A and B are shown apart, each in its own frame.
Chain A
Amino acid sequence: MMNSFAFNIPFVSIFLLMLAAIVTPLLPKRNRLPEKLSCCVVGLVAILSAWLLYSLTSYGQSLTFNYSMGHYPAPWGSELRAGPLEAVLALFFCVAMLLSLTGNFSSTAEDIAPDRRQIFCSLVNLLMASLLALTYTNDLFTAYIFVEINTIAACAIVAAKDDPEATRSTMRYMVISVTGSALIIFAICLLYELTGYLSMQHMNGAIRALVSAKSYLLPLSVALALMTVGLAIKSALYPFALWLPDVYVNLTNASGAILSGLVIKGHIFLLIKIFYRVFGLDLIHMLHMDTAIFILGLLSMIVGSVHALREMNIKRMVAWSSVAQVGYIFLGIGLNTSAGIAAACLHIIVHASVKTMLSTAAGGLSNAAGHKKGLHALMGTFYINRWAGLGLIAGAFSMMGIPAFAGFASKLSLTMASFDHSFIVWSLAGLAVSSVMNALYYVPAVIVVLTHNKEAREDFTASAPPTLYKVSMFVFLALNFYLGLFCVPLLRLITRGVNAL
Chain B
Amino acid sequence: MTSNTVMTLMPVLFPILTGFALFSRPIFEDRHIYVGVMTFATSVITFFSAFMTGEELITLWRITDTLSIAFRFDYPARAFSCLVAFVWPLVTLYAFEYLRRRPPVDRFYAFFLSTFGILIGVACAGNLLTLYLFYELMTFMTLPLVMHSQQREAIRATVAYLLYSLAGAALALGGFFFFQVYGVSMEFTPGGVLDMARITSEDSEGMILTVTFLTLVGFGAKAGLFPLHAWLPTAHPVAPTPASAVLSGLITKAGVIAMFRVVYYVAGADFLRGTWVQTAILSMALLTIFTGSMMAYIEKHLKKRIAWSSVSQVSYVVFAMMLLNADGISGAVLQIAAHAMSKSCLFLSAGVVIYFTLEGANYHYADQLRGVGKELPITMTCFALASISLIGLPVTGGFTAKWYMASGALNLGGVGVFGIVILMISALLTAGYLLPIVTDAFFPGSDFNYETVVPLRLPLNMKLPLLMLSAGAVATGLLAGSIISFVADKIVSVLL
Contact = CB atoms under 8 A, between A and B. Distances in A.
Interface string A398-440: 0011111000000010011001000000001000110110011
Contact of A415 (B61, B104, B177): B177
A478 to B, nearest CB: 15
Interface of B is mostly: helix
Contact of A451 (B130, B140, B150, B181): B150
A451 B171 CA distance: 30
Interface in B2-31: 23
A433 to B, nearest CB: 7
B215 to A, nearest CB: 12
A439 B166 contact: yes
Nearest to B150: A451
B136 A402 contact: yes
A380 to B, nearest CB: 10
A436 B166 CA distance: 6
A382 B163 CA distance: 24
- B interface, how many residues as a size bin? 20 to 34
Nearest to A393: B140
Which of A412, A436, A451, A484 has the largest count of B CB atoms less than 10 A from its CB? A436
A432 B129 contact: no
Interface residues of A, number: 29
A416 B67 CA distance: 13
Given A402-B136, A403-B69, A403-B133, A440 B150 contact: no
B490 to A, nearest CB: 30
A37 to B, nearest CB: 37
Interface string B161-182: 0110011011101100100110
Contacts of B446: none
B174 A428 contact: yes
Given A403-B132, A435-B170, A440 B177 contact: no
Contacts of A400: 136
B63 interface: yes
A403 B129 contact: yes
Given A403-B133, A415-B177, A440 B64 contact: no
A451 B107 contact: yes
B162 A404 contact: no
B170 A450 contact: no
Which of A402, A403, A415 has the largest count of B CB atoms less than 10 A from its CB? A403
Nearest to A411: B173
A420 to B, nearest CB: 9
A433 B159 contact: no
Given A443-B140, A447-B143, A403 B177 contact: no
A486 B130 CA distance: 16
A488 B136 contact: no
B173 A432 contact: yes
B272 to A, nearest CB: 22
A452 B106 contact: yes
Contact of B133 (A404, A428, A443): A404
B147 A440 contact: no
Contacts of B173: 401, 432, 435
B61 A439 contact: no
A447 B144 contact: yes
A450 B167 contact: no
Contacts of B133: 402-404
12 contacts: A386-B23, A403-B63, A403-B69, A403-B132, A403-B136, A416-B180, A428-B174, A439-B166, A447-B143, A447-B144, A485-B61, A488-B65
The 4 closest A-B pairs by CB, nearest first: A432-B170, A403-B133, A436-B166, A488-B64
